[in-house]
């Protein structure tokens, strides 16, 4: 199959790209002509950048912490100085500090929020001005099934990953008129962070390379916006957040009414996505202004 998704002349920053998923994303973009700023705290960043340049690609390495605004700003400036623009951000950097909820310490919560939430926020804000001036940008935030559905022992990680969906929703709204599309990737892959949690037969299927095409698509000109793309073992899915039409109880609702009709509320057909917070408010007021159900 010929490559229809090309990135010639495009510039990407991929965080956490010294190994695992980030490395796979960086390599996949570089193979399609993208110049890549490979970001990671350790020596892996330079190793992956060298791997790309050895294959006739274009890459630089950067070791800024994603949660350090000054370091991230300097990284973005380096990319602009080298290549004149920044078109793509894949915010992939992450850590785990797993414990059951009762045993999570404040330090463990802060560490995970600092990398996943603050790091994604900081990197997105650092490229935002450049993308607005260009009238073009693609931001891929990395959420997780733990954040979408929960996972034992990952309350801190799940909270951070769920927060990125909220960040995506708002950046989608604010970026739309500037040509910036923002999406979430929810990957399932055997990496240094997760390999100990997976049986060998699953790890063999859940390779980072099997996820990377999803990141490439979300970083492309053809990308949608405000979607959560599930990816793992070469399988891709669309995760939807929808809301039922709602039952109107009149101007003086009662908790007992909700309890009595809960199955009706929960099983109501016609669930649809809500485009923004005020759309839900408008729906509620319109329903309330009509007849009681």
How far apart are the C-alpha atoms of 274 and 116, rounded to whole Å?
25
Cα-only R_g, the chain: 21
In percent, the amount of the chain with pLDDT more than 70 equals: 96
113 domain-assigned: yes
Residue 3 within a domain: no
pLDDT at 238 over 60: yes
Residues 163 and 216 grouped into a single domain: yes
Residue 6 maps to a domain: no
Across 230-246, b (16+ Cβ under 10 Å) vs e yields: bbbeeeeeeeeeeeeeb
Q: Tally the C-alpha atoms within 13 A of residue 45's C-alpha that lie toward its C-beta.
A: 19
7, 121, 136, 157: the active-site residue? 157
92, 217: one domain: yes
CA pair distance 127, 137, nearest whole angstrom:
9
* Model confidence band, residue 291 (pLDDT cutoffs 50, 70, 90): low
Residue 292 has pLDDT above 70, yes or no: no
pLDDT number for residue 104: 98
Residues 218 and 280 in one domain: no
C-alpha triplet 150, 40, 202: angle, nearest 5°: 45
- 291/145: higher pLDDT: 145
Domain final residue pick, 222, 239, 256: 239
Query: How much is the pLDDT for 196?
Result: 65
Task: Flag whether 118 is in a domain.
Answer: yes
Higher-confidence position of 233 and 199: 233
pTM listed for this prediction: 0.95
Mean of pLDDT over the chain:
95
pLDDT on residue 120: 98
Distances (CA, A) of 3 to 7, 8, 217, 220, 289: 10, 12, 12, 12, 53
pLDDT for 185 equals 98
What pLDDT, on a 0 to 100 scale, did the predictor assign at position 188? 92
User: What is the DSSP pairing of strand 180-187 with strand 228-232?
Assistant: parallel
Do 271 and 134 share a structural domain?
no
Q: Average pLDDT, stretch 137-143?
A: 99
Q: What is the total count of domains within the chain? A: 2
Residue 2 lies in a domain: no
Does residue 63 sit in the same domain as residue 137?
yes
Regarding whether 171 and 271 lie in a shared domain, the answer is: no
Element spanning 11, H or E:
strand 11-14
Residues 47 and 188 in one domain: yes
What is the token pair recorded at 236?
């891709």
Whole-angstrom Cα distance, residue 75 to residue 225? 25
Q: What percent of the chain has pLDDT over 90?
A: 89
| Token pair for 103 | 């045993």
Strand partners, 237: 230
Co-location of 235 and 274 in the same domain: no
pLDDT tens for 45-76 read 999 999 999 999 999 999 999 999 999 999 99
Residues 201 and 73 in one domain: yes
Q: Give the residue from 200, 223, 239 where a domain finishes.
A: 239
Question: Mean pLDDT over residues 239-246, rounded?
Answer: 96
Q: Is the pLDDT of residue 1 over 60?
A: no
**Residue 252, Cα to own-chain centre: how many angstroms?**
40
Q: Is 136 a catalytic residue?
A: no
What does the pLDDT look like over 191-231, one tens digit per residue? 666 666 667 877 789 899 999 999 999 999 999 999 999 99
**Do residues 45 and 38 lie in contact, with contact meaning Cβ atoms separated by under 8 Å?**
yes
The answer to whether residues 113 and 197 belong to one domain is: yes
Question: What's residue 203's pLDDT?
Answer: 77
Statement to judge: residues 184 and 246 lie in one domain: no
Distances (CA, A) of 148 to 51, 188, 279: 34, 13, 22
Angle between helices 155-175 and 119-134 (to 10 degrees): 10
CATH code assigned at 110:
3.40.50.720
Do residues 16 and 120 share a domain? Answer: yes
Identify the domain containing residue 19 by its residue range: 11-239
SS3 label, residue 60: strand
Give pLDDT tens digits for 79-101: 999 999 999 999 999 999 999 99
CB atoms within 10 A of CB 285: 10
């Amino acid at each position: 199959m010929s490559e229809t998704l090309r990135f010639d002349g495009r510039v990407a920053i991929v965080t956490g790209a010294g190994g695992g998923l980030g490395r796979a994303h960086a390599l996949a973009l570089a193979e399609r002509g993208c110049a890549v700023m490979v970001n990671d705290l350790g020596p892996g960043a330079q190793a992956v950048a060298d791997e790309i340049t050895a294959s006739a690609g274009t890459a630089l390495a950067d070791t800024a912490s994603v949660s350090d605004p000054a370091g991230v700003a300097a990284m973005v400036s380096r990319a602009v100085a080298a290549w004149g623009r920044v078109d793509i951000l894949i915010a992939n950097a992450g850590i785990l500090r797993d414990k059951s909820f009762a045993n999570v310490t404040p330090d463990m919560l802060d560490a995970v929020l600092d990398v996943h939430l603050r790091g994604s926020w900081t990197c997105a804000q650092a490229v935002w001005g450049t993308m607005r001036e260009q009238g073009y940008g693609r931001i891929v935030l990395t959420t997780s099934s733990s954040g979408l559905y929960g996972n034992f022992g990952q309350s801190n990680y799940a909270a951070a990953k769920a927060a990125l969906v909220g960040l995506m929703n708002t950046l989608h709204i604010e970026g739309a008129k500037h040509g910036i599309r923002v999406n979430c990737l929810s990957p399932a892959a055997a990496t240094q962070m997760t390999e100990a949690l997976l049986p060998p037969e699953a790890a063999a299927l859940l390779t980072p390379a099997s996820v990377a095409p999803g990141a490439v698509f979300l970083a492309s000109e053809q990308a949608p916006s405000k979607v959560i793309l599930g990816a793992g073992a070469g399988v891709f899915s669309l995760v939807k957040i929808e809301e039922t039409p709602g039952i109107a109880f009149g101007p003086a609702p009662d908790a007992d009414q909700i309890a009595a009709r809960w199955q009706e509320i929960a099983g109501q057909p016609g669930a649809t996505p809500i485009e923004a917070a005020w759309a839900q408010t408008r729906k509620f007021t319109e329903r309330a202004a009509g007849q009681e159900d």
